[in-house]
Copies of this chain bind each other. A is one copy, B any other.
């Protein structure tokens, strides 16, 4: 079971190996007659290029790493899908990795370039500090997703979390809501993303002349729907009264739907709910979820632009790109009656 190599084809066609390579790669300086002759031999022998040989010779794998904390979270799975599509359009494959949101996991994916497995990396960091990220990446081209602190000379892409939160809260205010809670940020140390979303939430409350009441903030310890449900349930049972909720992510919103309904509170009548991420399943919850939808296509496009420009030799300062978002209106927070 000997694999067919360039040399085999070269012998068959009576030309040099390099000429076979030129034909297979589509190099333009090959005569039509030669191209046909070699292609015939390629077809007869069923030659298929060995990417490993090519990768070693070129020093490029044409594969990019994409690292998320956990693929089971619908938003990340859906984002991975978009990234894979965009990368494919650019002639790249994606190697998906889960970091588990741990330092060790993040450190591991940063080493993939050194191993020659990937040419660059797009990553959603969660555990490593900016200094450690910089130290561990050792020159690897990385684009960071989100707004967590990152090394100064690296590139990142994010949505404007402050503006998006403001917009969501404004929508709730326009619907006549006055006791607007926030559900789903971390119980202990806040991630930068949570900070920004809370900042936007507070700014919009202030702009609406609503007093910010810390009692309206409901954190959770684990970022899933079950934990959000429990956290909100406990708060409601402990006397929390809200007429609206901005949730840090859709999973928290889904947990909120259960917690509210279990206590006889109607959504959106008694409590209006807005999620974040606009996952596909948000269309099929009951009520369907109004949610902040990042422009995931633009996110992927920009991120890949940035990392590929680095691969092409761009050596300028780190760039911070903000992509769009919109508020997807569904049943949990319908268009305001005006």
Contacts and interface: CB of A to CB of B under 8 A. Distances in A.
Contacts of A48: 111, 114-115
Contact of A77 (B74, B93, B261): B74
A323 interface: no
Interface stretch (A155-163, A183-191, A213-221, A277-285): A277-285
Interface in A77-135: 77-78, 80-81, 84, 93-98, 111, 114-117
B77 A71 contact: yes
A191 to B, nearest CB: 21
Nearest to A77: B77
A136 to B, nearest CB: 12
A145 interface: no
A267 to B, nearest CB: 10
Interface in A220-234: 224-226, 229
This chain: copies in complex = 2
A14 interface: no
Contacts of A225: 281, 283-284
A176 interface: no
A71 B61 contact: no
Given A51-B117, A114-B48, A70 B74 contact: no
Interface size class for chain A? 35 or more
Nearest to A288: B258
Contacts of A262: 286
Interface in A231-270: 251, 254-255, 257-258, 261-262
Contacts of A280: 72, 224
A1 interface: yes
Interface string A165-182: 000000000000000000
Interface in A1-29: 1, 3
A56 interface: yes
Contacts of A283: 225-226
Contacts of A251: 281, 284
Contacts of A3: 114
A55 interface: yes
B84 A77 contact: no
A53 interface: yes
A9 to B, nearest CB: 14
A50 interface: yes
9 contacts: A48-B111, A51-B115, A51-B117, A56-B56, A84-B97, A84-B98, A225-B281, A226-B283, A255-B284
